[in-house]
Structure 1
C-alpha cells in the first residue's frame, strides 16, 4: 500500500499523519513512528510512505485543531481497520465532543455491553488514529486520567486544550 506521510509540529511533539484514498489510515507521534509503521504493516502488509505536504488538507486541519478550532477534526475521514468491536468502540469514542470525557464503563454501556469496560479499554488502546478518534477523552470511572498510548502528559495537555474537566493525579492532590 502506498500512503502519503506528513509531519505536523505541535506543543506535544511532532504528529505523523499517514493518508491514502482520501482518509487517514494512521496518526501517531513521531517518537512512536515505529508503532505507526507496525500498525500499518499489520493491516496492509508492505507499506510505502511517501513524504507529502498537507495531503487532502488534513495537516492544515490538524494545525487548526491545535490552534483552537476544536471542531476541525470532527469530520476527517479515517480508515482505522480493526475488528467489528474495535470499530464500534472507535465510532462511539468519536461521538465524544471536544471538552467532554467519558469513562470506559460509560462507553461500554452506550454500546449495550455495560460489562465490557476492559474490552473498551483494550480497543481504545489500539486506536491507530489518535486525536481524530479522540481516545484521550476516555478516562477512569472516578475522573482520573488512565492510560494513553502517547503518554499521560500528552493526554493531560489535550484535555486541557479542549477545556475538559478531570481530576488531578492523586500525588498532586492538596490535603488539608
Structure 2
C-alpha cells in the first residue's frame, strides 16, 4: 500500500458459515465484488485465484474490514429472516454488458418474497426473446444472494437452474416465503 492507487485496488475477503454452507465474500474499495457458494478450501482457493487474475491484485483475508463486517452482518440478518433488502455498495467490475444490465434490473425491480420469469426479466431490459441469455446472466452473477438471482424462475413454474445448487435455491426461496420449506 505504498501508493494511493494500490490501495484503491485492494481486495479483501472473509469466509462466513451459514445455513446454506460456507460463503466467501470479497470486496474492493468500491464495494462487495463477489459472493461464492460452497466455499470449501478448494473452492475458496480457486475463487481467490480468479479474483487475483481478474482484479490484478492478491486478495487479503480481512474479515474485520468495515465493508466486509457490514456485509457479513447484513447477510446473517437476511439468512435469519430479519432483513429483506441489502444496503451495501456493490462493485460491478466482474460483470459487464447485458449481464450487468439484467442483474441491475433484478436488484431494482424484484423485491424480497417475489419471483420473476427468465423471459419476463428479459422483456424488462428490452430483450423479450432473450430468456436463455438471462439464464446465462444469472449463472454469471458474481454476487448471488445479494443480487438475488435465486428469484428468477421458469415461467411454467419450474425452479430453473442455480449456481449454488437447487437445494440452496429452494432454501432461499423458502426463506423468502415463495416456496414451502423443503422437507429435507
Per the normalisation by structure 2, the TM-score is: 0.81
Cα–Cα, structure 1 residues 89 and 101, in superposed 2: closer, same or farther, change >3 Å? same
Q: Is residue 5 from structure 1 mapped to residue 16 from structure 2 by the alignment?
A: no
Q: Is residue 58 from structure 1 mapped to residue 71 from structure 2 by the alignment?
A: yes
- Match in the other structure for 1:132: 146
Measure the CA separation in 2 of the matches of 1:72 and 1:105: 24
Segments of 5+ residues of structure 1 without an aligned counterpart are 169-176
Cα deviation for residue 87 of structure 1 reads 1.1
Cα–Cα, structure 1 residues 22 and 59, in superposed 2: closer, same or farther, change >3 Å? farther
Cα deviation for residue 33 of structure 1 reads 2.3
Contact 1:6 1:52 survives alignment (8 Å):
yes
Cα–Cα, structure 1 residues 18 and 129, in superposed 2: closer, same or farther, change >3 Å? same
Cα deviation for residue 91 of structure 1 reads 0.5
Segments of 5+ residues of structure 2 without an aligned counterpart are 1-8
Bigger drift between 41-50 and 143-152 goes to 41-50
Measure the CA separation in 1 of the matches of 2:58 and 2:157: 39
Cα deviation for residue 35 of structure 1 reads 5.1
- Match in the other structure for 1:172: none
Taking the TM superposition and a 5 Å limit, the aligned residue runs for 1:72-87 are 72-73=85-86, 75-81=87-93, 82-87=95-100
Per the normalisation by structure 1, the TM-score is: 0.85
Contact 2:99 2:137 survives alignment (8 Å):
yes
Secondary structure of the 2:141 match is: coil
Q: Is residue 37 from structure 1 mapped to residue 45 from structure 2 by the alignment?
A: no
How many pairs are equivalent? 166
Cα deviation for residue 38 of structure 1 reads 4.9
Taking the TM superposition and a 5 Å limit, the aligned residue runs for 1:108-127 are 108-127=122-141
Q: Give CA-to-partner distance per residue, 1:99-130, whole Å, 9 cap, x none.
A: 11111000001111100111111111100011
- Match in the other structure for 1:149: 163
Secondary structure of the 1:123 match is: helix
